[in-house]
Structures are given as C-alpha cells and as structure tokens.
Amino acid sequence: MELRQIVNISGKPGLFQVISASRTGFIVEALETRQRLPVSASAKVAALQDISIYTQEDAIALSEVFRRMKADEANIPVVDKATSDAAVKQAFQTIVPDYDTERVYVSDMRKVFRWFQILNPLLDLSIVPEEKDAAAAEETAAE
C-alpha cells in the first residue's frame, strides 16, 4: 500500500484505500474497520498524495509533513477531540513552523494528526514518495 492509494472522502470519517474501479465510481476499504463500500463518481474524494499544507512561502506536500512527523515521532502528541486548540496549534507549529496561520485551520491540523495516527502503523512514512522515485531513477541511471 502506498500513499497514492489512500483517499479521504468528504462526509465520511477516516481514511480509505482504493480497491478497484466500478461502473459508477470505485470500491474503497476503510483502513480502520476494513469495511468495503462503493463510492459514487460524484463524491468529493481527495488522494492524500495530492494534498498540500499552505506555508508562508508556498506549500509543502502532506507526505513531507508525515515524513517530518515520523522523524520526530516521540514528540508527536495524541490529538483527539478533547485536545485544546492551542495545544494542537503548538504541536503543529513544531512540525511545520512556517504554516500559513490564515489558511490552515485547527480542523485541518487535527485531520493531519489523525491521519498520521491511522497511517503510521500501516505505511513507511519516513520516505517521501518523490524521494523514492528519485532514488529509483538514480539507480536506473547508474546501471
């Protein structure tokens, strides 16, 4: 399983792995419950690979945020509904110190922490996909 296969579906909690395409959309499997369900082609779906976090300068890929979180995993707090907004902001600022405070909301930060908690045991988040592709290209060029 790779990050490009993982999606977030608007209106549904959690993350899903795309299993296959169907005539009217596709089939996904919830990562936490392993329950499969059909998703309409008209549903608002976002692949995690395509999500970025706004910073003061530009934006950084979610995979890079996950890599930073994995590198400092011991200091990543468990964020749940009871965690105060100030604590969430402070924890997020340690990971992405230059995030855009006007365009990145606390709800977005909570999602990033929750997604990390779901994906950390399932994927190797220490490798950014672009780095993996670049390493493979370098190996091919060396041969």
Residues 7/9/15/16 CA torsion (nearest 10 deg):
-60
Would you identify the CATH topology of the domain 52-130?
Answer: Arc Repressor Mutant, subunit A (1.10.10)
* Domain spanning 3-48, CATH class: mainly beta
For residue 64 the two structure tokens come to 């890079």
Note down pLDDT in tens along the chain; length 143 residues: 677 889 999 888 889 999 998 888 889 999 989 999 999 988 999 998 999 999 999 999 998 999 999 888 877 888 888 889 999 999 999 999 999 999 999 999 999 999 998 888 887 766 655 544 444 434 433 44
Where along the chain do its domains lie? 3-48, 52-130
Strand-pair partners of 97? none
Q: How many C-beta neighbours within 10 Å does residue 65 have?
A: 22
